[in-house]
Structure 1
Amino acid sequence: MSNKDIGAEVQLERSFLKVPVECLNKTFRGSQKNLEKEMNNVLTQITELNKKRETITGNDAIKTIDKLLVRVQKLKRSMEDAKSEEELQIKKLKSRINHLSQATNNQNLKSYRERYNETRVNRIIIDYLLRQSYYDTAIDLTNQLNLKDLIDIEIFLSSKRVVEGLNKFDCTEALNWCNENKSKLKKINSTFEFNIRIQEFIELVKKNKTIEAINYAKTHLSGHSSTNLKEIQQAMATLIFGKDTKCERYRRLLDSQRWSDLVNQFKTENFQLHSLSTRSLLDISLQSGLSVLKTSLCGDHNSANIQCPLCDEAWRKLAISLPVSLQSHSSLVCRISGEIMNDENYPMVLPNGNVYSKNSLVEMREKQGKIIDPRTGDEFKFDELKRAFIS
């Protein structure tokens, strides 16, 4: 594999390296913010205590100091936890760099390349399992292969709670997630929290809780009126039309499908916040390979080849949106044997215009005494066939 090919391969792993960096950054900023907040509170209380030094009793001073000590001890434990988390992310980052270095170091040694390829394929499969919510299988496989530092299981497990909540028509975990990531969601102009609030309002409408719905809108929707006034007005109109309306515009708002839309939006934005690609690397890798194989005849049942992946229905669906590959050199493949036709196994043309390889037709004559076109059922004598020349 050339250095150019390796470089292109490693470029696909951008999120593989960026995820632990983002997690490290998030932990550091969180601990820094917590440290500043707690230290300001402690210093404020010390200042207040100092102001009261002439009037405060000894017992009250001791109680205040004891409370401050408890608070500082709690802060210390919090900082130790943050340090452990930072060390974990640094360890993950080192492991991932070492893994990717196997693609460039000792690239001429087959054993190193095979080890890298095997680990990479296992990673891609586990990532796909996590994205498809096969959490237990993914965790078992990760532990079995000792790939914990190379897999972002924690991100998927934390999102699991939100997804499960939304699937049960419960927004509690989703709103907690929005609160934890408020600043980042604001940077990407996320509408997820607003859509969650709209959904909770709609659920009250569907339960005929009109007063509760109006109060909920005043509390949670009015703050979005400057940016989402049209959506709010449309949601408020469901109070008039009711849950059994046949008006398409409002029926869509009341449809349970909106919960699935919320799940999909959450997954997309959660991946974005953690610098994960919205599509699995398995999909990307497979489609990259399939695009090389795709021709203008793909999907034509009359031209199907049992040895071609794209002639299989499942693979064809995955490649349906891909462009046709540019082929500067063509190879003729016999539809009977699947062998490539060349100067030794040259193509032969039947009187009806169909072409097959010489070896396949000779073998057919020896077995059947005649030539039968497998596509049309037409019968011919061998001496009726003509050789075709590849230019």
Structure 2
Amino acid sequence: MSHNQFDVLVEEVNKLNELNYIQTLTDTRALIESLEDDQENDDDLDQLLTNLSQSITKDLKQNNTKLNKFNKNFLLKIDLDLNDYYRYPIPSKNLKLVQNIINFHLLRIGDLNKFDNKLGNQLYEMKSLKDSIDYNHDLNPIINWYYNNDYKDKDEERDLLFEFKLHRLNYLKLMNQNKIKQGLNYSRIWFPLIIKKNQDYLFEISKLMGQFIISNNEENNVSNLDLDFKELSILFVKKFCQRINIEYESFLFLIIFAGICSFPTFNKFLQLKNSNSFQWSSLKELPFETPLPLFLKQYHPIFICPVSKEEINDENPGMSLPCHHIISKSSLLKLSKNGLTNFKCVYCSTSCSLSDCKIVKFYFI
């Protein structure tokens, strides 16, 4: 290799090294800038976390302030010893009745495994069928139950509505599972029977028949069906309760709700009593009427005589007049002068005599 060639080679190597140095410096500078940006981002993140922490702390302080005010104005002022609020003797038959209602409620929701009577077995069947709707989304047991029962709802339209919702949901379930053929065959079997009973369902069923043509979001379909299953579950329980002649609402719920509604009145009475504003020594009746919603009163077997304004009891039972209006026995004796004279009904002025009147009894539903 000649001297000139060697010099050229050295020059090229130097150029290469120079380029590498420049690239290295460029990369290093880029790395430094990147680290500086990351440092700035970290500072922003720290500030964001600080702001978030301050906001959460502020909200917690506000909530704690409200909670403390609630405790101060309610819990600390009200002694929740129920024995102080209700000092009137509770008949043993009432306590036994409450115990029976609790047992009935547990039986109704399926928490008791012993069924020694017909009603217990019926409630167990209701719980099993309800579970098939809620957890398995299986409507076939409900359909079999519905058609294999001789009971007929007095309200035929209400009965048909349940039947329609039952088959509608089963049809939508098949369509939602992409079982188009099965869904169409199902609709051909059941929907004509509903239309035959009531032509008003034709429009709704026509919309359902186009379900397989319109492609909807699958997630929304599932969500909507979940709501439908919940609605049908409620309708089924109402229908079942009608068939076995029990109320849909739990009696235990009614008792607790009545206590909640009455509690403020008892609390006010206790405050007045403790302030010595008045004296009330009777242990047989309250000095006030407990305010209850109208739908609760229809379950209460208490009758107040329209004449004496007194509550009937075993010693002073209700008496049915010939016109079927009711007054207490003590009022009947006063009006008839112990059966010596006829008198007029306080409601309708019908002429009545003591011998024509009959004792009546009220029962808890």
TM range (shorter): 0.3 to 0.5
What TM-score, normalized to structure 1? 0.41
What TM-score, normalized to structure 2? 0.44
Q: Greater CA radius of gyration, 1 or 2?
A: 2
